[in-house]
Amino acid sequence: MKRTKIVDILSCNALVGQQVCVKGWVRTRRGNKQVQFIALNDGSTIKNVQIVADTEKIDADTLKDITTGACICAIGKLVESQGQGQSVEIQCDSIEIYGLCPNDYPMQKKGQTFEYMRKHAHMRLRTNTFGAVFRIRHHMAMAIHTYFHEHGFFYFHTPLITASDCEGAGNMFQVTTKNLYDLKKDDQGKIKYDDDFFGQQTSLTVSGQLEGELGATALGAIYTFGPTFRAENSNTPRHLAEFWMVEPEVAFLDQEGLMDLEEDFIKYCVRWALDHCKDDLEFLNKMIDNTLIERLEGVLKETFVRLPYTKGIEILQDAIKKGVKFEFPCNWGDDLASEHERYLVEEHFKKPVIMTDYPSKIKAFYMKQNQATPQGGSIGYQNTEAPEPTMQGTDVLFPQIGEIIGGSVREESYDKLLAEIEQRNIPMKDMWWYLDTRKYGTCPHAGFGLGFERLILFVTGMANIRDVIPFPRTPNNAEF
Ligand code: 4AD
Ligand code: MG
């Protein structure tokens, strides 16, 4: 008999009164001598279907093997339920056991810590919480593709293996086929790559942006959506060594337009979650974070604050004067720590903030430089004056998360970009093709990168980034 998914069993009235076949993993079994109740889940929904097994029909040996975690196939009539807590149930005619589940099943006990779950990441997928998180993760991926498709962006595939360091931060994993203990070196002791697979030093990409810009300056508007890799040794609840990034890049987009796109895109994703993931969100709201749904709805109502960095520093300095204590300094020129970002978002404005016009010295080489003043400063967004050069970087800061998007207008002037590359000692052999976009028919353009897992953190209310990707990669952890 053909199997029906539990999500359809629970939502399709026409099935009531029919014989159905369900297959899934047992959550619980309880009951008495006459009748046993089995809660079955097949991953298609957070909800279980109740199977009612009459002990005269289903033999005791079979029933005894139906333990938590076992995999079964049950056939019976779908009827309206007599009991509380479910609208329908299956009056079981027969059960076949596909897979027994002995009592050392690691997910048997309820209420395990997330740390315990991470050690059993191969099995945690079968729990309610992780089922909910990964269904939502799927829906967010669909939201992203739908948004960009509907707005005329082309899905553009950028390479994962690269010879350039987009962010210039040097946090790259190397790619080689060579025996690392027996590397060829030149007279100065420097490694020679000429006989390595690519004939040059290569790494896993930290961002698809540079190639994304080539796409945007040809197709008009593109987005990438793929894995990115960063060898930053930051053991925080917000960092992964392998994470997924969404990177739209658009020709003829200015700073205001970029911020509009960032805000519209995030709101679309949040709305999509509320529209498509109701059952899973209600579960997480109940079990993980009881302000989750309220927070998601709140973001949709808010207009994000657009705040030049220089004004942000003034607010933070003011707060310090009024007695607020921060662990790290926040003078003009400092990279803001997550405590500063969260103060602005959660305490001061109480809504998401798009911060713009960062000091050049803390941002990447490719950002558009603001107009210089004769005194060595600059003038940027909303005519804000800054004491030193600034760039049109526009990051989105979110409650609970901190930076969820990093973006910028790109420097389109060949001369300015070249000067910046030289000043930062970026090897020109890596950059000639990128500079060609500025040499041949350059155009104003802008784009951003959204950390997919940070979006999932926000949308699920989970606290640790390791719990929103199926198999996290972090320092000292590459199992599964
Ligand atoms: O701010 P980032 O470094 O920006 C870029 O890579 C640009 N090239 C993007 C672009 O303009 N096309 O990274 C973008 C976002 C961050 O805002 C953050 O959400 C996420 O990627 N991110 C990480 N997420 C998880 N683990 C990490 N180690 C991350 N590093 C960055
Ligand atoms: Mg950033």
Q: Residue 320 Cα, ligand 2 centroid: separation in angstroms?
A: 25
Verify whether ligand 1 is closer than 6 Å to residue 393 (CB atom).
Answer: no
CA–centroid distance, 70 to ligand 1, in Å, is 41
pLDDT for residue 32: 95
Nearest to 445 by CA among 476, 408, 475, 400: 408
Give the rounded distance of the alpha carbon of 238 from its chain centre: 10
Any ligand 1 atom below 6 A from CB of 215: no
Residue 66, phi-psi category: left (phi > 0), alpha (psi -120 to 50), beta (remainder): beta
Domain ranges for the chain: 6-99, 128-171+206-467
Cβ atoms of residues 28 and 53 within 8 Å? no
In tens, the pLDDT along 18-44 reads 999 999 999 999 999 999 999 999 999
Q: Do 226 and 377 form a contact (C-beta atoms < 8 A)?
A: no
Classify residue 474 by its DSSP letter: B
Cα–ligand 1 centroid distance for 245 (angstroms): 7
- For ligand 1, is residue 240 a contact (CB within 6 Å)? yes
* Residue pLDDT, tens place only, 255-298: 999 999 999 999 999 999 999 999 999 999 999 999 999 999 99
Report which ligand 1 atom has the smallest distance to the Cα of 169: 3
CATH class of 128-171+206-467: alpha beta
- How confident is the model at residue 85, as a pLDDT? 78
- Per the CB < 8 A criterion, the answer to whether 409 and 448 are in contact is no
User: Does the C-beta of 410 come closer than 6 Å to ligand 1?
Assistant: no
Residue 217: the pLDDT is 98
Instruction: Give the domain 6-99 fold.
Output: OB fold (Dihydrolipoamide Acetyltransferase, E2P) (2.40.50)
User: What confidence score (pLDDT) does residue 392 get?
Assistant: 98
Number of residues that make up the chain: 480
**Gap from CA of 148 to ligand 2 centroid (Å):** 22
CB of 228 shorter than 6 A to ligand 1? no
Residue 286, token pair as written in the block: 């109940």
Q: Is the CB of 90 inside a 6 Å radius of any atom of ligand 1?
A: no
Q: Give bridge partners of residue 398 from the DSSP assignment.
A: 402
Q: Is 165 in the pocket of ligand 1 (CB under 6 A)?
A: no
**Ligand 1 atom with minimal separation from the 465 CA:** 25
Mutate which of 144, 172, 207, 345 to test ligand 1's pocket (most atoms within 8 Å of Cβ)?
Answer: 207
Which residue CA neighbors atom 26 of ligand 1 most closely?
239
Enter the pTM of the model.
0.96
Low-confidence residues in the chain, pLDDT < 50: none
Contact by Cβ (8 Å): 257, 402: no
The alpha carbon of 323 and the centre of ligand 2 are apart by a number of angstroms equal to: 29
Q: Quick one: which atom of ligand 1 is closest to the CA of 234?
A: 28
**407 Cα–ligand 1 center, Å:** 9
Residue 314 three-state SS:
helix
- Å from CA of 405 to ligand 1 middle: 7
CA-to-CA distance for 435 and 442, rounded, in angstroms? 10
Specify burial of residue 310 (Cβ count, 10 A radius: 0-12, 13-18, 19+).
buried
Structure tokens at 95: 């059960």
Ligand nearest to the CA of 167: 1
The Å distance, Cα 378 to ligand 1 centre, comes to: 26
- Predicted pLDDT of residue 467: 98
The span from the CA of 164 to the CA of 429, in Å, is: 9
Going by DSSP bridges, is the β-strand pair 154-155/221-229 parallel, antiparallel, or unpaired? parallel
Q: What's the CA-to-centroid distance between 406 and ligand 1, angstroms?
A: 6
- For residue 169, which ligand has an atom nearest its CA? 1
Contacts of 313 (CB under 8 A, 6+ apart): 330, 331, 332
- The angle formed by the CA atoms of residues 221, 222 and 223, to the nearest 5 degrees, is 140
Alpha-carbon Rg for the chain, nearest whole angstrom, is: 27
Q: What six digits make up the tokens of 46?
A: 């957070």
Token match 């049950």: residue?
74
Nearest Cα residue to atom 11 of ligand 1: 448
DSSP letter at 84? S
